[in-house]
Chains A and B, each alone.
Chain A
């Protein structure tokens, strides 16, 4: 079994030629949620990013994708696929991806579809985009993870469920700012979090979400990846994990032998919450904002239901001239307007009139 090759490689080498993120400007502090539901106290993160009245996962995906296009410096018509991963699409039936593709000016000669896999929908789209470009079917493909996540009022999830998005344009390795050395996916049927049809808010398995779900999949994917590549934690400059809170990724890093210094630049959940399909990849985007040529980055997503996608990236010289062509993640985090719980219920449509 150990001899089996679990890694995935594309036929031709591929990488990221453009990346971009978007985070809405409104912030709801955890202390404000705790004040309303528990009479005070704190929560698992400092605050979370909340989408405004005129925002949804489509508008978030569009801005992230425009930033990725600005960095890639390709014409939108050169994209052969637009894939949007989200658990909060504005329509139950009608693709988000066609709206995004049209807004970018990428239509009509391309694939467009929405991906679903809870918080790993964005990396699922990224894997698919690497397959398309890596097989030579298309020269460029756009993969996006975007969410406006909602938790039931007063539930533990409400403290972290946040909004944001990140987009990647995948292209040939020669043009990449980060080349993919290998990817690996690890998937099982584990019901840690779900939402049935016609329900507004998700349900979760409480403590079951930790060990058999998040940790098992992240540690298995990261462990298999490093074992198969014969790489040690200290060979990576940065590591980024899915971040439903601050505690889980810290514990995962420790168990795998990574340091706080490797983890911290890509750990954003304390400031913006859990952006679901965008969480791990927005952390990766923040790391690309500061990475140097030659850096190696390990990215491991996690989606409930459950599974993890792991990627090893090599940063190239192209990063230095391309990263300033669009706003950095830090620019969006700095753009901050605090709101109270009352305004939050209005912005997120939690009042039934």
Chain B
């Protein structure tokens, strides 16, 4: 429980508001943050908050979920291409699995990701939904 709380706490910037990084050497936008640029392999620590706009790159519907996600079945996990470039893996929300399409414009929302039991913390984080307007 303690380890999970500490892990969630460290990730709150990226999970709550898509805080990533930008490489000062080659200009690449990086999400999730990893402190090393995947393109030029130089250190990259300058924070950059992403807009949350993107589109569905590919997706699949989950019927046999990992532990902690049982109550959300069936749900869709997608690779979302952010408008700034990076591709992020995230759950889609407010959309039925049969209505998801490749190329569909989506936007980031902060939702409940999971909670282990009635005594544990609630983990919040990004999901994506069809653009509202």
Q: Which residues of A contact B (CB under 8 A)?
A: 25, 52-56, 58-59, 62-63, 90-91, 99, 102-105, 327, 331-332, 335
Q: What is the CB-to-nearest-CB distance from A268 to chain B, in angstroms, rounded to a whole number?
A: 18
Contact between A55 and B17, CB atoms less than 8 A apart? no
Q: Which residues of B contact A (CB under 8 A)?
A: 12, 16-17, 19, 49, 71-72, 93-94, 109-113, 122, 124, 127, 132-133
Query: Which residue in A52, A53, A59, A335 is a CB contact (below 8 Å) of B110?
Result: A59
Contact between B72 and A103, CB atoms less than 8 A apart? no
Task: Name which of B19, B72, B93, B111 has the most chain A CB atoms within 10 A of its CB.
Answer: B111
Q: What is the CB-to-nearest-CB distance from B61 to chain A, in angstroms, rounded to a whole number?
A: 15
Q: Which residue of chain A has the shortest Cβ distance to B130 in the bound complex?
A: A335
Q: What is the CB-to-nearest-CB distance from A308 to chain B, in angstroms, rounded to a whole number?
A: 32
Query: Which residue in B17, B19, B109, B133 is a CB contact (below 8 Å) of A59?
Result: B109
**A-B pairs, 3 with minimum CB distance:** A54-B111, A103-B16, A54-B112
Q: What is the CB-to-nearest-CB distance from A95 to chain B, in angstroms, rounded to a whole number?
A: 13
Q: What is the CB-to-nearest-CB distance from A90 to chain B, in angstroms, rounded to a whole number?
A: 6
Q: What is the CB-to-nearest-CB distance from B74 to chain A, in angstroms, rounded to a whole number?
A: 12
Query: Which residue in B16, B71, B127, B133 is a CB contact (below 8 Å) of A327?
Result: B133
Alpha-carbon distance A55/B124, docked complex (angstroms)? 10
Q: What residues of B have a CB within 8 angstroms of the CB of A25 in the complex?
A: 94
Contact between A90 and B122, CB atoms less than 8 A apart? yes
Q: What residues of A have a CB within 8 angstroms of the CB of B110 in the complex?
A: 59, 62-63, 103
Q: Which residue of chain B has the shortest Cβ distance to A63 in the bound complex?
A: B109
Q: Which residue of chain B has the shortest Cβ distance to A56 in the bound complex?
A: B112
Q: What is the CB-to-nearest-CB distance from B70 to chain A, in angstroms, rounded to a whole number?
A: 11
Q: What residues of B have a CB within 8 angstroms of the CB of A102 in the complex?
A: 12, 16-17
Contact between B93 and A52, CB atoms less than 8 A apart? yes
Q: What is the CB-to-nearest-CB distance from B112 to chain A, in angstroms, rounded to a whole number?
A: 5
Alpha-carbon distance A54/B111, docked complex (angstroms)? 6
Q: What is the CB-to-nearest-CB distance from A193 to chain B, in angstroms, rounded to a whole number?
A: 25
Q: What residues of B have a CB within 8 angstroms of the CB of A332 in the complex?
A: 132
Q: What is the CB-to-nearest-CB distance from B109 to chain A, in angstroms, rounded to a whole number?
A: 6
